[in-house]
Amino acid sequence: MCGIVAYIGNKQAQPIVIKGLKRLEYRGYDSTGISIYNGSALHTLKTKGKVSDLEALIAQHPEQKATLALGHTRWATHGVPNDTNAHPQTSNSGNLVVVHNGIIENYASLKKELIHRGFTFSSDTDTEVLVNLIEDVQQQQGVKLGQAVQIALSQVIGAYAIVVFDRRKPNELVAARLGSPLAIGIGENEFFVASDATPFIEYTKEAIYLEEEHLAIIRVGKSIKIRKIKDDSLAEPYVEKLQMSLENIQKGGYDHFMLKEIFEQPKAIQDTLRGRLLSDEGVITLSSLREHDNRFLNAKRILIVACGTSWHAGLVAEYLLEDFTRIPVEVEYASEFRYRNPIIYPDDVVIAISQSGETADTIAAINIAKEKGAFIYGICNVVGSTISRITDTGCYTHAGPEIGVASTKAFTTQITVISLIGLYLGKANGTLSRSQYQEYLTELSTLPTKVEQILASQTFIEEVATSFKTAQNCIYLGRGYNFPVALEGALKLKEISYIHAEGYPAAEMKHGPIALIDKEMPVVVIATKKGYYDKVVSNIQEIKSREGRIIAIVSEGDTQVKALADYCLEIPDASEPFIPILSTIPLQLLSYYIAVQRGCNVDQPRNLAKSVTVE
Ligand code: F6R
């Protein structure tokens, strides 16, 4: 949450930082700001709203030629989104500016102490406390900027990614992280610091992902020095080659990133399977499993921790892994798991699922499971993310950057990875017969084409959306493997269209929610041929007799549900464990079109951020 971009080098810094902030708006977009150093003066402009509002503000001021700038796009934690609380935050002397992503938990006590020493505060932010704490260290101890930041940070409890600039040190930026990501792009005599690599992808392919509790002193004309915040010792920078391209992070002719990402799913699933599924040879090559299969095969239990959409993928995993391996699986909200003193055995395998690899609650859950000796397997999309680095091993989804705040291709590729894991283990422990294993393998390779087929019904789904765009509530129902899909469908609708939506196991209707059904209530039922079809048909009858409006997701060629439902969205047939990858696609499109028709900002829904790095 919150996006940071800083530039120091030989180019005009302001346009680079503004363009970078636009790419990071998925991380937060309630207020924004920039500080520019033009060689003699430090100018800071801040505003409530989006980066486009900041651009408008910049246009009202004299043009600044500067080769150093720091920018921020915010998702408010401390203090309402307004101009004053926006970052950068400036120290009392005006010498220091800081941009910050994270939360300083002990800011209140630090602030009290600083007030006692004569500091004054104009914002409600924890960041203004941090910048003044650094200044206080400088004033008290007369140390260099890097060391002042290091000393200040060792007094801080919480999470942060920060970039600090001192106008008395015009060739230097100091960056540090604990719990929130920071990437440093290394160009020709220029450096970029950002919350991810997207702001600098067209300038350099070389980057350092700053490690936990590391601090970087970045000087133009010199190399980067990295120190450990805990003991000030030097650390060796590890420079990575970025795989990402500019094309990956642009809309590519689509109206929204979300639509682009929905349509990328055939390729994303193909990329997830590439080199891992050799269906003709009957082989799954997942080195992370092969090297540790004794941990999985001897596990008495698999625990899955995740949040939001990734948690829904975890629920699908519960059905699939238990079916394929007969190893018991439990799925936990990471946010609950971390605070309830969970029972974890050293022979448990914990699978953490996260698109961003930066979700604070999931990271905390991993750390707890690690302390108790469990083996941790990560399923992440973002390469080099925190979760991918703190887990014992894992597997990337390779879905490519997901920029729309609503998760789409991350979900289907997470289930694809889980299918590979289930098949590998099911074969290894003998739960799946040879023929069953081979059938599933062959079928898995056909999924990208089936997803393409569903996407071709885009226009019809758009028409269906028109009939439901004014709804105020909506219920989603599914059974078995389709129950998590119902939850996911409801989450997609509520987060981007602001229509209240709930997902239920279809059979739970009678235990309460059926009281809500009347002719105003749209009910989305996932009624595919495989998976308790007859029982779901009975549930549809019950809704029909109470005049509910039904949109059904059905298998190709269905006639029975078609006779009952108001609208049917068809998907190709598949084995039950693979249905969620298909049945979720029409629900993504339905939510997308309803939100667009309601005039909502689908890529940046209100109050949300893509990467939830605070709890
Ligand atoms: C919903 C959505 C969120 C995320 C959740 C976890 O569309 O995107 O619910 O799934 O915040 O994020 P990751 O997967 O990055 O851990």
pLDDT (tens digit per residue) in 144-168:
999 999 999 999 999 899 999 999 9
Task: Give the ranges where 386-532 is alpha helix by DSSP (H).
Answer: 386-390, 409-428, 434-444, 447-455, 458-468, 482-497
CB 412 within 8 A of CB 402: no
- Rounded Cα distance between 580 and 319, Å, is 11
* Six token digits for residue 363: 């990271």
Candidates 551, 486, 164; CA nearest to 152 is 164
Distance 215 CA to ligand 1 centre (A): 28
Q: What pLDDT is recorded for position 424?
A: 97
Averaged over 520-548, what is the pLDDT? Answer: 93
pLDDT at res. 376: 97
Contact status, residue 452 vs residue 269, Cβ threshold 8 Å: no
**pLDDT tens, position by position, 261-310:** 999 999 999 999 999 999 889 999 999 999 999 999 999 999 999 999 99
Tell me the pLDDT tens digit for each residue of 21-62: 999 998 888 999 999 999 999 999 999 999 999 999 999 998
Pocket test for ligand 1, best of 332, 493, 612 (most atoms within 8 A of CB): 612
Q: pTM of whole model > 0.75?
A: yes
Grouping H, G, I as helix, E, B as strand and the rest as coil, residue 231 is: coil
Measured by CA distance, the residue closest to atom 8 of ligand 1 is 407
Choose the residue to mutate in 1, 257, 307 for probing ligand 1, maximizing ligand atoms within 8 Å of C-beta. 307
| Number of residues that this document lists for the chain | 615
Map out the domains of the chain with their CATH numbers: 3-248 (3.60.20.10), 251-454 (3.40.50.10490), 457-603 (3.40.50.10490)
Instruction: Judge whether residue 64 has pLDDT over 90.
Output: no
Q: Which of 78-82, 369-373, 405-409, 553-557 has the lowest mean pLDDT?
A: 78-82
**CB distance 11 to 84 below 8 Å:** no
User: What pLDDT is stored for residue 109 in this prediction?
Assistant: 97
Mutate which of 195, 309, 358 to test ligand 1's pocket (most atoms within 8 Å of Cβ)?
309
The C-alpha atoms of residue 421 and residue 395 are separated, in whole angstroms, by 10
* 308 CA closest ligand 1 atom index: 9
For 567, phi then psi, to 5°, come to: -140, 140
Q: Which of 22, 260, 427, 610 is catalytic?
A: 610
Closest CA to 496 of 606, 356, 401: 606
The pLDDT score that the predictor gives to residue 105 is 92
Residue nearest to atom 10 of ligand 1 (CA): 309
DSSP state string for 99-112 = EEEEEETTHHHHHH
Q: Work out whether strand 522-527 and strand 473-478 pair parallel, antiparallel, or are unpaired.
A: parallel
Q: How far is the CA of 129 from the centre of ligand 1 (A)?
A: 30
Give the model's pLDDT for residue 586: 98
Would you say 191 and 8 are in contact if contact means Cβ atoms under 8 Å apart? yes
Share of the chain above pLDDT 70, in %: 100
Q: What is the pLDDT of residues 449-476, one digit of tens each?
A: 999 999 999 999 999 999 999 999 999 9
* Residue 407 CA, ligand 1 centroid: distance in Å: 6
Q: So what's the pLDDT on residue 228? A: 95
Q: Closest ligand 1 atom to the C-alpha of 387?
A: 16
Give distance in angstroms: CA of 24 to centre of ligand 1: 16
The mean of the pLDDT values for the chain is 95
Q: Can you give the pLDDT at residue 278?
A: 92
| Phi, psi (rounded to 5 degrees) for 276 | -110, -35
* Cα 167 to Cα 180: distance, rounded to the nearest angstrom: 25
Residue 546 has pLDDT above 80, yes or no: yes
What's the pLDDT tens digit per position in 206-232?
Answer: 999 999 999 999 999 777 999 999 988
Separation between Cα atoms, residue 439 and residue 444, nearest integer Å: 9
Predicted pLDDT at 378: 98
3-class SS of residue 188:
coil
Q: Are strands 206-209 and 183-187 parallel, antiparallel or unpaired?
A: antiparallel
- What mean pLDDT comes out for the span 74-92? 91
Residue to probe by mutation, ligand 1, list 304, 353, 359, most atoms within 8 Å of CB: 359
The CA 569 to ligand 1 mean position distance, Å, reads 26
pLDDT at 384: 83
Residue to probe by mutation, ligand 1, list 257, 354, 405, 407, most atoms within 8 Å of CB: 407
Residues with CB under 6 A from ligand 1: 307-310, 354-356, 359, 362, 406-407, 491, 495, 612
Q: H/E element holding 131?
A: helix 126-141
pLDDT at 194 over 90: yes
Q: What is the 3-state secondary structure (H, E, C) of 39-80?
A: CCCEEEEEEECCHHHHHHHHHCCCCCCCCEEEEEEECCCCCC
pLDDT at 159: 87
- 264: CA distance to ligand 1 center in Å? 18
Determine the atom of ligand 1 nearest the C-alpha atom of 359.
16
Is 474 one of the catalytic residues?
no
Quick one: tokens of 38? Answer: 């033009």
Rounded mean pLDDT, 562-573: 96
Decide: 302 and 329 in contact? Cβ < 8 Å: yes
Instruction: Using DSSP, state whether 190 is helix, strand or coil.
Output: strand
Atom 11 (ligand 1) nearest CA: 308
Task: Give the pLDDT of residue 279.
Answer: 87
pLDDT at 607: 86
Active-site entry in 2, 395, 474, 600: 2
Which helix H or strand E contains 187, and what residues bound it?
A: strand 183-187
The answer on pLDDT for 543 being more than 90 is yes
- Confidence at residue 76, expressed as pLDDT on a 0 to 100 scale: 83
Distance CA 525, CA 536 (A): 8
Q: In what order do the strands lie in the sheet with 302-306?
A: 329-333, 302-306, 349-354, 375-380, 393-396
Cα of 311 from ligand 1 centre, angstroms: 8
User: What pLDDT, on a 0 to 100 scale, did the predictor assign at position 247?
Assistant: 82
Q: Is 395 an active-site residue?
A: no
Q: Does pLDDT of 120 surpass 90?
A: yes
Q: What single-letter amino acid sits at 71?
A: G
Q: Ligand 1, residue 610: give the atom nearest the CA.
A: 8
223 CA → ligand 1 middle, Å? 36
- How far, in Å, is the centroid of ligand 1 from the Cα of 356? 8
Ligand 1 nearest-atom number relative to CA 611? 15
Q: Which atom, in ligand 1's list, is nearest to the CA of 382?
A: 15
Judged against a pLDDT cut of 80, whether residue 615 lies above it is answered with no
Residue 140 identity (one-letter amino acid): Q
Closest ligand 1 atom number to CA of residue 356: 15
Residue nearest to atom 3 of ligand 1 (CA): 308
Ligand 1, atom 9, residue with closest C-alpha: 308
The pLDDT of 353-373, averaged and rounded, is 95
